[in-house]
Structures are given as C-alpha cells and as structure tokens.
Amino acid sequence: MMKKILIVCGEHSGDVYASYLAEKLLATGNFQIYAMGGHALEKAGARIIETIYDTAEVGFSEVVSKIPALYKKMSRLIKFCEQQNIDGVILTDFPDFNLRFAQKIRDKGIKTRIFYYIPPQVWLWRKNRIKVIKKLIDKTFLMYPFEKEIYGRNKVNHAYYGHPLMERLRLRDESSVKDMIGFMPGSRDKVFFKMSGIFRAVIEELSSKYPHFSLGIAVAGEKQQAYLRELLQGFNITFYTSAELLQKARAVVVASGTASLEAAVSGTPAVFVYKVSPVTFFIAHKIIGMNYGSLPNILLKKRVIPELLQKRCSKNDIIKEIDKLLGNFEILSKIHKDYTEIRELLGGGSVTLKIAEDIEKCLKI
C-alpha cells in the first residue's frame, strides 16, 4: 500500500526545496504526496490542498496581519491529517507555523511520523527551539555540517547529507558570462513591491552608465513578472530563471537570503539589498544580535558580499557597489575565495535522494 505524505511549506524558497524532495519520493512509486505549497510542488507531482500565495512574509511585524489566515490553514491541515490517515509529515522551513502545526498534531494524538527538512536556524537565533524540535520531530534533516554538533549535543535525532542547492545549481563557466547585470528581487510580495521602485531607479541609471551591458531579472511568479514588465516598459531587460541569470550575469543585485546563497553556489558576485519594517530591523539587530542579513555573510561570520540595508539601500549606494564588482579585481578575487569555502561547507550532490531514502526507511517501506 502506498504511503501518504503531507509536505508543508510557506513560501517560494521552501516550495522549491520541497519540490526536489517530492520528485525523489514520487519516483519510488511508494508515495502519494499532498502539500501546502505552490507551483514548484504542484509541478513535481504533489496534490496541493493549501496554497502559499498569501502566506509568505519576512519579519516580526509583517507576519501579524497573516495570523488569522494561517490559523485557518492549520486547522484545515489538521483535519486533513485526521481524515486521510497521513503516514508522514515533512515540514519545510517556515518554522513559526510548522512548529505550531507539529504541536497540534501531537496534541490531537494523530499517529504520524514528523520530519523536518530545512529546519529552523537554531544556531543563529531563538536557540531554545532545539528543545521544541527534540520533543515534536521524529527526524530532522540538517543543511549545514556545523549543525550536527548542536543537534548531537541536544540528543536530537538528525541526519546530514548536504544542502539541496548543491545538486540543483552548478558553478558557472566564466566563459559563459556576459556583459550583463542581473536583478533578483525575491519572492515575498511585501519585499518585492517595496524594492521594485529602487530596482527601477537602479536599472534606469545603469542603462545610461553601462549602455553596452544588458540587463536581466529573475522573479518567482507570474504576478510579479507581469508587474515588472509594466514597471520597466522602455528598458531593454530580459527575464530569466534564477539559475540562468546566475550563469550569465557578471554581477547580481539580490533581495533575498536564498538568492544570496544561490549566487555563492553559482560563483556570481552579488550585492545584497534589503528593507524591512523598522520594528523588524530593530528586533533582528538590537535584540537578537544579527550582524548580517545575507546567508554567505551569516555562514562565514564576515562580510563576503556587500550588504545595503534600510537607509543604505539606495540607488546611489547600490550603483557604487555594482561599480566595484564590475571593475575591482581584488574584491572579486576575495569574493570567489569565500564562495569556494561556502561551497565546501554545503557538501556534495544527491542530497534529496539520500533524504528520500532515509524517509522511506523511517516509514519502513
């Protein structure tokens, strides 16, 4: 009998990562997969029972408006688990929702195995969540090797096979790089619409400053692409997938943590730009003590790529950093050296296949 799996994610990056795993699980012929997800999971073959198009938010104050809708989704998911006798639940990122969902499953006495794929970054902040994970999660699949010590010390059942990006993105061939500047505005609507005006101003400036350069942009959804096509009318700009853009662009401007890590894996010099609410920024930097916003900088605990946050996220400052990435070979050499260290940190390939096989064993298939 086929096992029933429910995958739960809450934003575009989680949807993409979960789709990699869904593909491997479905290829075995042993699973039916349902999901709270988006286009990527649907394309992979999962049956979408709840969408994520209204769930993704970035920070502490931004998420408040979504709470009622999220609780309704959670209630429907719990009822679905009860009615369908789900054999396994795979939580993907989205920790504030997913850990509460796991608690509800346990409180209801639903007999299912719970796995965490792309777990909370307990090594970065809110470290007490490791105790919640230990209590609620049957097995956690880690993304970074240094997490093994934390999970092992806390006696949490875990496995580490590497980061799934390493099997989906390749280090670019420098001979394929064009005179192109790329933009990756991210998938979260609030960030996307907040940043789009700045991106337009930068694109306008670059069009006149570097007339021989082409411009490329990668966006997650059709709604965002339609909005940008209208916003950027009159500019010669081409739309790509993120993987295509990272292979071609000489430098990219990124506005999400996932995109910053994709740039590092691909070997593409990047500028990280971000604006959040003052409350979110204050909590992250003053209370939690986060020194960086981009994943390359967080992972190596130093400035790997330039970050322009809040007031520094301006047209002039972005242009200055792009100028450096296009012409300062000393800066580029340092970035590439740090990128090599990050790729080594993230492990090898076949990550999602190994995780899928582990889940099969856990479910005794």
Residue 179 pLDDT: 96
Domain count, the chain: 2
Residues 228 and 192 in one domain: yes
Residues 26 and 155 in one domain: yes
Residue 348 pLDDT: 79
Residues 57 and 186 in one domain: no
Residue 284 pLDDT: 52
167 found inside a domain: no
248 found inside a domain: yes
Tell me the C-alpha distance between 147 and 123, whole Å.
7
Residues 203 and 299 in one domain: yes
Residues 63 and 210 in one domain: no
Residues 116 and 201 in one domain: no
- State the burial class of residue 234 (Cβ atoms within 10 Å of its Cβ: 0-12, 13-18, 19+): exposed
Helix axis angle, 189-209 to 315-327, nearest 10°: 60
* Contact criterion met (CB below 8 Å) for 93 and 187: no
Residues 157 and 15 in one domain: yes
Residue 220 pLDDT: 74
Residues 61 and 194 in one domain: no
Residue 19 pLDDT: 97
Residue 355: give its domain's CATH number: 3.40.50.2000
Residue 61 pLDDT: 45
- H/E element holding 115? strand 113-117
> What pTM was estimated for this model as a whole?
0.87
DSSP character for 54?
Answer: T
For the chain, which residues score pLDDT lower than 50?
58-62, 287-288
* Contact criterion met (CB below 8 Å) for 141 and 161: yes
- Residue the block writes with tokens 């799996």: 5
Residue-number span of the structural domain to which 120 is assigned: 3-162+349-362
Interacting residues of 279 by C-beta distance below 8 A, sequence separation 6+: 59, 60, 61
Torsion, Cα 155 156 161 166, to 10 degrees, reads -120
94 found inside a domain: yes
Residue 142 pLDDT: 96
- Residue 128 vs residues 78, 90, 184: alpha-carbon distances, Å: 25, 21, 33
Residues 334 and 357 in one domain: no
Residue 288 pLDDT: 46
- Residue 349 vs residues 151, 163, 239, 346: alpha-carbon distances, Å: 22, 8, 28, 10
